[in-house]
Chain A
Amino acid sequence: MRSRRFESRDRRPLRREVLVAPLPELGLVAADGPRDPAPELVVENGVVTRLDGRAAEELDVIDRFLVAHGLDLEVAAEAMALDDAELARMLVDVDVPRTELVRLSRGLTPAKLSRVVGLLDPVELMLALKKLRARRAPANQAHVTNLKESPALLAADAAEAARRGFAEIETTVGVARYAPLNALALLVGSQTGRPGVMTQCAVEEKRNLELAIRGLVTYAETLSVYGTEPVFVDGDDTPWSKAFLGSAYASRGVKVRFTSGTGSEALMGHAQGHSMLYLEARCLAAVRAAGSQGVQNGSISCVALVLSVPGGTRAILAENALAAWLDLEVASGNDAIASHSEIRKTAKLMGQFLPGTDFVTSGYSVMPRHDNTFGGGNFDADDIDEWLTVQRDWRVDAGIEPVPEDEVLAVRGRAARAVQAVFEELALPAVSEDEVAAATVGYDSADMPDRDRAADVEAADDLLARGVCGLDVALALDRRGFGDVGEAVLSMQRQRVSADYLQTAAVIDAEGLVHSAVNDPNVYSGPGTGYRLEGERWELLQALPSVVAPAELVADSPDGPGHLVDTRRAAKGSDPAEVVVAVGPAFADGIRATINDLDHRDVVEAVCAGVRDGGGVPRLIRVPGVADVAFIGHVGARLSGSGVALGIQSKGTAVIHRADLEPLDNLELFGMSPLYSLESYRAMGLNAAGYALGHRVGPVPTALDNFARAKLIVRTTLLHARETAAVRPGEPPVEVELAAVETAPA
């Protein structure tokens, strides 16, 4: 036997993914693994003799690297002696400065770090992350790729990303040889969108270094580390080789960020029975020891595996907080697809979105996710408005700015033209007018004309062989009338000379000023301190293109006489067949139509016709003293000869009332005004007459739309405000009649 509700839930997107019970032997446990070692650090004569359950001779290559570069033994004795719970409390105590926590972290072993951070619940982790973030203001990183590797589209997307406020933009390649062309398109597009945006092209290290040496990219985050020796070695590296590579990048002026994340060791089959969080603590300790300024972490490409086990989302937030505690810049994941479920992936996002990280995502897909060749696109082009709205809802800066459509079109078009010009100047295969046009307005790469891809890759090889570099790009732009973009590209070259962006958590503003944890550090120390979303920035993040002025939602107050004419003060009726039709203060006057755009004259006529159909006699009364539909109806009922009335608010909400009921009770309430037609109002009149004459009455069948409120509550509020403003307190009810229909002059 199956429940149809269970069957319905089985069809939800969530059920496409697998949830598993923990299996610690395989590393399928988020935190607190049964085989995670107890924190341990024994130092004899200045030499580490035991580390987290291992004697000196048992230390693996990661341990040995930590001992050599990652443990400050001057702090260690003090830090390791602190109680886990005390350290955990310090992480969330706004009176314990970040600098003090960072100092202590230098003396803590991975087992201690993971155990302490593991004591925090999700909200505590968010507070810790907010407090420990390296840079004062959060930022965001974009992914820009497409299946056709179209340069015009890459440039347009990079320009839009830059214009939307992304501080870094990352591309990659489907075909490795494309790398120089994609890096070039990204550089030109990004600097067209906003000078100072940093770019990278994620490719194999040697190729990556080459692009960096040419000044075509400014940062790299491809340096992966792992938490067990076998996985590190399977990744064809050691902590020493990775640390060397990091220095090599820095020597060529490249900002370097390492990559790690929970789940990779389990996925690669060598978790050694440890929890994901413990292994990530080992990774992060190694990243810091290697001298990286930052890390891309938060499970990254293994996120779905971590989310398959209990506590996975929390463990990912814990690893972000841990990285921040270790004084690393954090690009906090949210790039790879975490879940099929919009609810689940958004819930996961909040862990980083609300506290703010140095880069809230390590790649927001500016284009539709099917064009994301990273396999990313957790949040993509179609989600931008939701992202912006959630920022506005929480009053949180998660690094993306609203931009009006015309400005987006302008910057996309200009970037496509700029890359067209650069391709021509550098004798690369031409970018056609059709490509420029399609890149400006297109949805995805399917909208782009096909290019001769063989010619493109040959040209890419040739570009490298000719030694084309960032200076050539700046000069080409300058020659072709894109002087400002040329200046921006040159400014990025100048940044390579001063190398300021090699410091922790550096981003570059539009004026070329570097903001890093050195000159713009996070100094959050409780409410009212640190980065606050306020002033111009808050004004900007509120002003979504879809926001309307309240006045636009309701028609202006009409001029001229209303549809109803007051006749005399209303007295109690005596006709037992009488049904009073009582209307609100603004009805057919200051407001002339219901929220469903039914003209009030037609509504009154429909109601009265319904009353007559039911054998009743309608009498129209205005209740000027109240705006609430229950009281309008009840006042009407007390004046009605039958004791029954139909009350109608100007927005269309109606009630059938009877004199002997309490005001807030009723016979039938019609609260779904957006759904009512004239037929509905006629049926209400018919029923009211039925009650008046003592007939058996079945309720008027009404539809239910629970979204109507969400859709119309603002208009409802505005209409009701107008009704309320029309209230004349203490003024008695008056009889009204329909005014003669004005006929337009012939």
Chain B
Amino acid sequence: MGTNFDATRDYPLGTRRPDLVFTPGGLALADVTLEALRQGRLEPADIRATSETLLLQAEVARAAGRAPLAESLERAAELATVPDDLVLAVYTALRPRRATRGQLGEWADRLEGHGAHRTARFVREAAEAYAERGLLADA
């Protein structure tokens, strides 16, 4: 977590605290330039927010009184390092009657494997609700 970060004052990060913002490849925000692009120093993988940045945004949201948005951004921070295929597979499993309780548990375990603990908990919580409402797949 960045030092001296004040969630009530340091937003927008891009203009107020660019020193805290890096690409996944470790480039500073100020280094994302046309010149760097021309010199081949920018990779497509650089163009996204890191988990750290998303957590800072979650702090900003929470400081502004938006707890559910903060929780969503915290899940996003976890998912930032989860591969696209796994993200899409978990989404599909969460759709109605796609997965059994056991399968949802397995997807949650997979997420745990990527350090996505909050999101895993979210998936397990869904499985409980689905079981009550008949929204699980037939075993």
Contacts and interface: CB of A to CB of B under 8 A. Distances in A.
Interface stretch (A82-90, A288-296, A336-344): A288-296
Interface residues of A, number: 72
B49 A497 contact: yes
Contacts of B48: 213, 252-253, 496-497
B90 A497 contact: no
B54 to A, nearest CB: 6
A483 to B, nearest CB: 7
Contacts of A486: 34
Contacts of A209: 84, 87-88
A292 B21 contact: no
A64 interface: yes
Contacts of A250: 54, 72-73, 75-76
Given A238-B126, A478-B34, A497-B53, A244 B11 contact: no
A251 B37 contact: no
Nearest to A229: B133
Interface stretch (A396-404, A509-517, A525-533): A509-517
B11 A327 contact: no
B126 A494 contact: no
B57 A503 contact: yes
Given A237-B95, A251-B79, A471-B44, A499 B49 contact: yes
Interface string B37-60: 110001010111100011001001
B68 A502 contact: no
A610 interface: no
B125 A490 contact: no
A720 to B, nearest CB: 55
A93 interface: no
Contacts of A513: 12, 15
Given A490-B37, A498-B21, A205 B44 contact: no
Contact of A251 (B66, B67, B80): B80
Nearest to A495: B14
A575 B129 CA distance: 105
A238 B13 contact: no
Contacts of B14: 494-495, 497-498, 500, 512, 514
Contacts, number: 207
A629 interface: no
Contacts of B73: 247, 250, 291, 502
A246 interface: yes
A233 interface: yes
Interface stretch (A65-73, A450-458, A674-682): A65-73
Given A486-B34, A498-B29, A251 B87 contact: yes
Nearest to A70: B68
A57 B129 CA distance: 11
Given A474-B34, A503-B61, A205 B91 contact: yes
Nearest to A243: B72
Nearest to A502: B57
Contact of A61 (B47, B57, B84, B129): B129
B13 A517 contact: no
Interface of A: 57, 60-61, 64-65, 68-70, 72, 99, 102-103, 205-206, 209, 213-215, 229, 233, 236-238, 240-241, 243-253, 288-293, 327, 467, 469-471, 474-475, 478, 483, 486-487, 490, 493-500, 502-504, 512-514, 516-519
Closest 8 CB pairs of A and B: A291-B72, A498-B14, A240-B126, A250-B76, A251-B79, A247-B75, A241-B94, A499-B49
Given A236-B96, A237-B95, 7 more contacts: A61-B135, A237-B96, A240-B94, A244-B94, A291-B70, A471-B47, A499-B49
Interface of B: 11-15, 18, 21-23, 29, 32-34, 37-38, 42, 44, 46-49, 53-54, 57, 60-61, 64-73, 75-80, 82, 84, 87-88, 90-91, 94-96, 119, 122-123, 125-126, 129-130, 132-133, 135
